[in-house]
Structure 1
Amino acid sequence: MTKGEEKVGSWLWCRVDDPVTVAVKNMANNNIGSLVVLKPGEQNYIAGILTERDYMRKVVAQGRSPIYTRVGEIMTDENKLITVTSDTNILQAMKLMTEKQIRHVPVIDGKIVGMISIVDVVRAVVEQQKGELKQLNDYIKGEYY
C-alpha cells in the first residue's frame, strides 16, 4: 500500500502531517467517508478523525489548497472526538450518532480497535429486524417452538 493508504485492523488511517489531498484520495479510492488520524509514531493511538465534512468545511469552503494543507490542520481533534467502546450496544451507538449528527465513530478501548459508520449501524438493525420478523412469521404459521 502507498503512503496514505495504510490499513491497521479493519480501518484505514492517515497521519497528522499527511497532505489533505493524499487523505481525501484515500477516502475516494476506498469509497469511505472518514479516516482515523493516528498520532505520530503510533500504530494504535488516535489523534483525531478526518471526515468528508471536515474537508468540505475547512478546505473547500475556505478556499484552502488540499495539497499544502495538512490533515492535522483540519481534522476533528481527539479532545472533540465522539467515540464508543466495544461494549457499546448498537442502539446506544445509533442514538449517539443521531443526536450528534455524525456518521463515523471510532471504537476505543484504551487504543483504537475499530471504526463504525452509520451504514454499519443501519445494517445491524436491519439484520436484527429480519430475525424478529422471521420469528413472528413462524409463530403465526404455527412453526414457532
Structure 2
Amino acid sequence: MKAKDILATKGTSVITIPEESDVQQAVEELTSRKIGFLIVMNAGGDVTGVLSERDVINKCVSARKDPAACRVKEIMTPRERIVLGFEEDDIQSIMNTMTERKIRHLPIFRENALTGIISIGDVVKVLLESKDKEIQALSAYVQGNYPG
C-alpha cells in the first residue's frame, strides 16, 4: 500500500494555520479538532513550516513563554527541516521514516504540492487491517473454507 492509497481512504483534508497566529490560537485549533499537527502557511498560501504538540511544549511551554504572546512562526519547524513523504512511498517506508525520525505526522507531497498528512495512527490502522485480512484468510484456509 502506498501513501496515496492511505490518503484516498482517510481523505486529504489538511488543517492549516497562518504563521502570524499566536501559539494560543494554534493550541485552541489543535484541541478543538483533536489533532496534534498543523501545517503553517504564509500570507501567500505557501507552506512555511509545521507545528506539532511537541513544538508547543518544547519551544513555548517549557521555555516559559506566554502562548498568547508567542507567534507560530517563532516555534514552528521550518519548511527546510520538515521530514517529507511522497505519494508513491509505501507503508513500510513511511513507518521506517516515522520510527527513525521519531515523528508522528508525515506531510505527503506530489512534487511540490502538499496532498495530505499521514499520522502514525493511520499507519497502525492500515497495518492492523492488513493483518486482520491475513488472519481471516488463514483461518478460512485451515477450516477448509477457501476458494478452489
Same fold (TM over 0.5): yes
2:130 aligns with one of 109, 128, 131: 128
Matched, 1:143 2:119: no
Paired residues for 1:23-102 under 5 Å: 23-42=26-45, 45-102=46-103
TM-score, normalised to structure 1, is 0.89
Displacement after TM superposition at 1:97 (Å) = 0.2
Deviations 1:58-104 (A, max 9, x none): 00110111111110100011111001011111111011101111001
Displacement after TM superposition at 1:27 (Å) = 0.2
Paired residues for 1:9-28 under 5 Å: 9-28=12-31
Counterpart contact for 1:46–1:111, Cα < 8 Å: no
Q: Between the two structures, name the one with larger relative contact order (CA 8 Å, sep ≥ 6).
A: 2
- The one-letter code sitting in structure 1 at the alignment partner of 2:88 is D
| Aligned-partner Cα distance in 1 for 2:143–2:18 | 56
Runs of 4+ in structure 1 off by over 4 angstroms are none
Higher helix proportion: 2
- Alignment correspondent of 2:108: 107
- The one-letter code sitting in structure 1 at the alignment partner of 2:79 is E
- Alignment correspondent of 2:121: 119
Displacement after TM superposition at 1:54 (Å) = 0.2
Q: Percent identity?
A: 33
| Aligned-partner Cα distance in 2 for 1:133–1:29 | 37
Gap regions ≥5 residues in structure 2: 1-11
| Aligned-partner Cα distance in 1 for 2:41–2:117 | 13
